[in-house]
Each structure stands twice: as C-alpha cells, then as structure tokens.
Amino acid sequence: MTDRQHLVDAVGLVGELDRDDPPTVLDVRWTLTGGGRAAFDAGHLPGAVFLDLDADLAGPPGAGGRHPLPDPAALQAALRRGGVRAGHPVVVYDAGGTPPTGAAARAWWILRWAGLADVRVLDGGYAAWTAAGGPVTRAEATPIPGDVTVGAGSLPVVDATGAQAVAADGVLIDARVPARFRGETEPVDPVAGHIPGARNQPAAETVDEAGRLHPPALLRAGYADLGVRADRPVAAYCGSGVTAAQTALALTVAGFEPALYIGSWSHWITDPERAVATGEEGSS
C-alpha cells in the first residue's frame, strides 16, 4: 500500500459499508483525559466496535513510557473481540479535527506492527464522517469473534539509543507543539525539553483545517524542509508515542519508511543520564 491508500474518505467508506462483507471498523476515539467510550456511546459509525487506546493499543504505563507497546497476546485478544479477521480489511477512526490526537494513526500503526496488511484510517475522522452526512447509530455491534493472529514486529521501532542515532545520522522528528519542544512548558511529563538533535514539526502541520491529511506532494515538501530524504533514516517521537504515530502515518503516505520511538519523551526522561535540550534548535 502506498500514498493515500492508507486512507479512506467518508464517501468511499459509506459505499464500502453497504457491501455484503464490509471492512471491520474500529472506533478508537481518545483524549489524554479519557472520554472515548462516552463519545462512542453517544454516536458512532454503524457496525463499529470501540477499542480503548490505553487498555487495548498500549501496555501498562511504567518504565517503558506512558503508552508502551501492548503485549501481543493481549492485543490479539482485543482485536479478536473486535471482530478483526485474518486477511480482512480494517478501518480505524478517531474524533478528527485539528490538532489531531493521533489515536487513529496509533491504531493504524499498532495493527500494522502486529502484521495486518490492510489497515486504513478514515481521513478526517468522525468529524469528516458526520460532515459528509454519514449514518450514525448508538446501537452497539456484537461482532462475530475474529481469528486474527498477531505477529509483532512488522514495523520498525527505535529505542532511546536508536532515537539518538537517528538524530545524529538522519532526521528525528518531535511531533509535539513548539512550546513543549522548546521546554517552555510540560503539562504531562515531569521533565521539559527535547531529545538533542531532534527537529520539531507539530503533528498539526500534517493536516488541513478540517483535520484531513495533506496530499503526499505537500507532505514531501514539508519533510524535505526538515532534511528527510529516502537515503537517510527517519523516526518520530512525541510525549508517549501516540501523536508521533500521526507523523509516522504522514511520512508513510509521503513515501518514506519511518520508525517510531514508541516510548518517546516519557521513556527518554526515565534515565537521568540522557541529555535534555531546550530552546529553538531544530524547530521548523
């Protein structure tokens, strides 16, 4: 899958859901303060099943960061409960809008890391769906349990050492807002700043005013300004590996093969020996 084949728009998904065997649809709406399940209960796409980003798409917070990789067996059980089948297409969506939460991109990334090949993000999320007049329901689906087998490790990840190496030899993109990158504020983690050598491009710059991903050519131009090239390693991080998944999705759509620092800043700062940078260096 290349370019925008990792995405589906609302109009296209309406048609796919009318088929005899529609794609499996997963609602992964999420915020740092919760509320995803409540949003699902208030209205969701017909046939969609809710997955909890914190409980289903990440492991318990701790030494690995706030949203480490999930245990493969636990992930497989959650996906099967959601009706995910081997070889069957999956569409994931979050609330949409801007700035993006990264929740749908995180689900897209985790499922592909788990070995699923046909996973797409609803471009613009739930906001785009309702704006297009897509049907909404409060009825909760009861899918037939899926049979997917998780084969972890199908996408590249970097640890702290790997992130440091990418910052030195390629382009390490920090997807957080500039004030957090510069270390002026840190509303979530106990230490402010960024990984030395990282470049800052907030995830909001990957989408238009409606929260839809920019076209591949525009994304490539932005990454070229950061120094991203096909012959250099590129990786992304954020606070805990959620928003950075939005950057990983945008890089993939732009034609690159990014790695994700899944532990991100919340893991980097667990070792006081790791250097912390502040200020404008590396800002776009």
Query: In sequence order, which residues have a C-beta less than 8 Å from that of residue 33 and are 6 or more positions away?
Result: none
Secondary structure of 101-128 as H, E, C letters = CCHHHHHHHHHHHCCCCCEEEECCHHHH
Token pair for 39: 């949003």
User: What is the amino acid identity at position 145?
Assistant: P
80 in active site:
no
Q: Which of 121, 158, 219, 238 is catalytic?
A: 238
Element housing 139 (H / E)? none
C-alpha 84/C-alpha 148 separation (Å) is: 6
C-alpha 152/C-alpha 149 separation (Å) is: 9
The DSSP secondary-structure symbol of 203 reads: G
C-alpha 183/C-alpha 21 separation (Å) is: 49
CB-based contacts of 5-8 (< 8 A; 24+ apart in sequence): 5/120, 6/108, 6/119, 6/120, 6/121, 6/249, 6/252, 6/253, 7/120, 7/121, 7/122, 7/123, 7/213, 7/253, 8/91, 8/120, 8/121, 8/122, 8/123
**Could you please report the per-residue DSSP string of 19-60?**
SSSPPEEEE----TT--HHHHHHH-B-TT-EE--HHHHSS--
C-alpha 266/C-alpha 107 separation (Å) is: 19
Active-site annotation, residues? 238
